Structure 1
Amino acid sequence: MGNSESSSLDVAWRSKFSTEEQTFLSVIFDSISGSDTAEETKDGKAPQKQFTLAMLKFIEDMIVSVIHLLQHEKMLKGWNVEKTGDYNLGITRLTAYLMSELKAEGEDLSAEKLHAVEFGQSELKDWVYRVSHIPNFLHALIALALHLTKPQYHGEFFSATQVLPQCLGIKYTGVFTVLDIPSVIYLKSNLPSENQSQWKLLFSSQAHGESFSRFSVQILHKGPTLLIVKDSFGYIFGGFASCSWELKPQFQGDSKCFLFTLSPHLGTFNSTGYNDHFMYLNHGQQTMPNGLGMGGQHSYFGLWIDSNYGQGHSKAKPRCTTYSSPQLSAKEHFTVDTLEVWMVGNPPKNDLDCLGPQIVVREEVWYLQLQDCDWWGRMSGRGNHRGSGAFMMFLQTLSPMDAEKTS
């Protein structure tokens, strides 16, 4: 790195952090890069094994400390460690991901290659400045340690929303999410800014049952969402849908959509620009595939959940054409263990979806509600309310606009 480039990096780095954070980081950098040891190499670079172990320890301790402090200060934003996925595995995966973001001479490095590369303070500063998680974690550590989280400091130095989104939908329920808190932190950082602050659970197979019709009803016209799938082998993966899901036999969405994997490792896969097969949701047709898909093409999706609930596939030989994603599941054809959908960001202003036993005004929801809702079974005479079956038969003959007039 040239002198001018190094100088500009130093200025950018210093503008990113407070004086307290710079002092803290300088001590860490001196220790990790070997500048205070007898084993120091040229340019202040640490021996490879020493560096890798020190960095792993630093990152892991930083993640653990932030989550512990947020929990202690009751600032987990509605998330509950007891109702989320394996905390320790999540920390291990996030640590490995952050380590892989280190670069030498402009190249990305996998965790396996870190042992073969020497790093000094300039590389460390570049990494800290470039990877958004690091300053967010450091801001949190300094603020929490110095008790700068009181109301008078909110919005000035640190807010928990810099690390975690507000969680809605599980706090007062018996629902457990397959997401662990480190994975939530990772996913949040990859979302557009307008989708980072608040997440609401729309569907969980634990709570809503294993029905594709019910699944579809819960996610239609809710704005941007995160689809989370856990297969029978424990792999966790999914996709970000940047637009509301609509029930139709055409592709939808835009290039903000992406696929991701959370277990056994973290990774995101963005649009390649090759095609516009971002999102697909169809049900009840004989001539087109019925299910939910993201990326690829019919019968060969990067991620597919079949309308025959419980079955899916992730096909990529060698990569999904839409997202350049590899096979996300343990096996190409997988069995769903758990399925979740989270609304991310504020609900759309024009959201008219009906809740509970109301007349549904949209054609696709109309069809699905009549197929799968318990209240329809009762009202149509299959339950204890046999006298109202004729009324519901009448409703079946109405168009969505007619139904709207009767409400």
Structure 2
Amino acid sequence: MSHPSPYLLECHITEHSPHLLYLVFFLKEEKMGNKQTNCRPNYFSRFLPEEQAEIDGLFTAITGGLETISSGKSKKPFPIPISLEMLQAYLGDALPEKMIVRLYEGMRNIDLTGTSQSPSEYVIKEQFVILMSELLKGNAREKSHIIMKMLRVPIENVKASHIKEFTEDLITSVVHVLDYRNELKGWNMKKSQDFTSGVKALATQLLSALKQEMNPTQQKTYWDFDGDRNWTSPQECPPVEEEDSWSCDMSLIEDWVLKVPQISSFLNVVLRRGFLVLHSHAELASFIPECKDAKELMSLLNIPAILYINSFLPTKLQHTWKLIFSSQIHGYSFAKLCGNIIDKGPCLLVLKDRDGYIFGGFSSHSWAVKGQFQGDSRSFLFTISPSIAVYTYSGYNDHYMYLNHGQQTIPNGLGMGGQFDYFGLWIDHDFGKGHSKANPRCSTYNSPQLSARENFELDTIEVWAVGDFPSEKSPPKKNILDNNTEVHCLLEMIGKSRQSEGLRDPCEEEETKE
């Protein structure tokens, strides 16, 4: 007696009988001699043995156990399939409802038969494993394949607006789950800038790479340098179309996932911290930095901006941010600012002007008072509000960082990029004033004007030391030149070093310590 057609059976009964869904696949394997199953990739093999045990345990925990299915003389235990209600009950408040539904849609729309039939409302273990495998271990193509299913619209109808909505949900879910699991590492959502605007700003920034792929004629929309380091004028750009008119196909999404590594990182966090699976993985160790010495601070930063900017720092500096200066705490004094940031290692400066724009820069080296530029090409400028972006080294010059104070012959203040009187970011020694001159762009970082006005009035500033905070050292005994900083700066300007530097008598240093 022949078995009924498994495909016909599936169409009629699995929608209302989840346990029979496994009977369908059991019959398929029997009838086809397991050929169809064996020709599919073994997604489970991507996980280490201990990881496989975790995935097995997770599926069982969501569904509640195994079900024994009988077919004639054969009996075989199968895991109970997942329903949306089971997934919601297991995850609870760990993830937002919208993301739980997206994950469920991503699983149940995985086509195991290749027949493109309407998906069942139940998720079997193989679909669950495929989603976990492709999002956690897969390449850009595999991840984009699942993302397209999580959009909850037919592939042929996917627009840029759907990708933007997904990206906003993804960022929101990352911050939500870290907050829910008490893993924000000292950052307080109630003591930071507006979260919702931060999510929208970051989603817009991450989506910019996709928009460039969809509109290649708009990729060059600003002034740039030619081969002779001369400014070139911007190309004429066609009018920007509405997002709903931009269609996205699989290749565009794949390129986007490849070019924007934050998407993969965010998916990693949502799955690992949402399901509490594979949570010992080292990938998440420096995802968000530990916040130190800022308990009383109402920070200029928001959590999405922290995640984004931290991803541009050198890896060894991503684990800790320590507040070393805040005008809200330490007052409005340029001398105090200098005293708090000199010799403190790489730093992030974050400023807010009187018009509400928030921006800043990363200094790759310790700040030092000297009459010449310092730092290296790892330094960058950035904006946080009203839009978020990072502007890295252009290759044009080496004017990364500049700090001077107390001299009459050279500019006094703190600057990054550009040149004297035309810095990409400048804080005057007067402290209440600054400028961001970028006509048409800052030469060092190819950044636009960061502030609302070219010459701005400073409202608030905070500085964070990043990475390992340098240990405090007792200063060596001073000589006569140490007290004459003007002479010291002039020597630096003409490229002359002090011959006695580093050759002082160790005994003198010991006396100073005592």
TM-score of Structure 1 vs Structure 2, range by shorter chain: 0.7 to 0.9
Alignment partner, residue 122 of structure 2? none
1:30 CA drift (Å): 3.4
1:169-200: CA deviation from partner (whole Å, max 9, x where unpaired):
113xx211100001101101111112211111
- Structure 1 residue corresponding to 2:195, chosen from 87, 91, 110: 87
Question: What is the aligned partner in structure 1 of residue 116 from structure 2?
Answer: none
- Which residue is equivalent to 1:144? 273
The one of 306, 317, 328 equivalent to 1:184 is 306
Give, in whole Å, the separation in 2 of the partners of 1:365 and 1:176.
38
Q: Deviations over 1:2-60 (max 9, x none)?
A: xxxxxxxxx9xx99x841636986454036495x3xxxxxxx543xxx51221122111
| Residue from 276, 286, 295 that aligns with 1:161 | 286
Report the alpha carbon displacement of residue 145 of structure 1 after superposing the two structures with TM: 2.5
Q: For the residues of structure 1 that align with 2:334 and 2:481, how far apart are their CA atoms?
A: 13
Kept in 2, the 8 Å contact 1:69–1:144? The answer is: yes
1:55 aligns with 2:163: yes
Instruction: Find the structure with the greater CA-based Rg.
Output: 2
What's the secondary structure of 2:179's corresponding residue?
helix
CA drift at 1:347: 2.3
Note if 1:96 corresponds to 2:225: no
Aligned counterpart for 2:176 among listed residues 45, 68, 86: 68
SS in 1 for 2:511: helix
Task: Within 5 Å, give how 1:1-400 maps onto structure 2.
Answer: 18-19=132-133, 21=135, 26-30=145-149, 32=151, 34=153, 36=154, 44-46=155-157, 51-102=159-210, 103-104=212-213, 107=216, 112-113=240-241, 114-148=243-277, 153-155=279-281, 159=284, 161-162=286-287, 164-171=288-295, 174-348=296-470, 352=473
Structure 1 residues 273-282 or 211-220, which shifts more? 273-282
**CA RMSD in angstroms, aligned pairs only:** 3.3
Output the TM-score relative to the length of structure 2: 0.60
Hey, what's the Cα distance between the residues in 2 that align with 1:188 and 1:311? 27
In the TM superposition, what is the alpha-carbon distance from 1:325 to its structure 2 partner? Answer: 1.1
Kept in 2: contact 1:353–1:360 (CA 8 A): no
Quote how far apart the aligned CAs of 1:348 are.
Answer: 3.7
Aligned-partner Cα distance in 1 for 2:479–2:387: 39
In 1: Cα distance, 2:184 partner to 2:346 partner: 23
Q: Tell whether the 8 Å contact from 2:134 to 2:146 is kept in structure 1 after alignment.
A: no
TM-superposed CA distance for 1:366, in Å, is 8.4
SS in 1 for 2:373: strand
Higher RCO structure (Cα 8 Å, ≥6 apart): 1
The alpha carbon displacement at 1:101 in A equals 1.9
C-alpha deviation, 1:299, in angstroms: 1.2
1:238-263 CA-to-partner distances (Å, cap 9, x unmatched) read: 11100110011111111111111111
* Unaligned runs of at least 5 residues, structure 2: 1-42, 48-130, 222-238, 486-506
AA aligned to 1:30 is: K
Q: 2:123 maps to which residue?
A: none
Shift of 1:279: 0.5
Question: Which consecutive residues of structure 1, in runs of 5 or more, have no partner in the other structure?
Answer: 1-10, 37-43, 369-400
- The answer for the alignment partner of 1:398 in structure 2 is none
SS in 1 for 2:328: helix
Tell me, in whole angstroms, the C-alpha distance in 1 between the residues paired with 2:427 and 2:441: 18
Please give the secondary structure, in 1, of the residue aligned with 2:460: strand
The number of equivalent residue pairs is 340
Q: Report deviation, 1:404.
A: 7.0
Structure 1 residues 365 and 200 mapped into 2: Cα distance closer, same or farther (>3 Å)?
Answer: farther
Give distance in 1, aligned partners of 2:378 and 2:480: 27
Offset of residue 298 of structure 1? 1.0
* CA deviation after TM superposition for structure 1 residue 402, in Å: 6.7
CA distance in 2, matches of 1:291, 1:305: 6
Determine if contact 1:77/1:160 at 8 Å carries over to the other structure: no
Distance 2:306 2:208 in 1: 19
Identity of aligned residues (%): 42
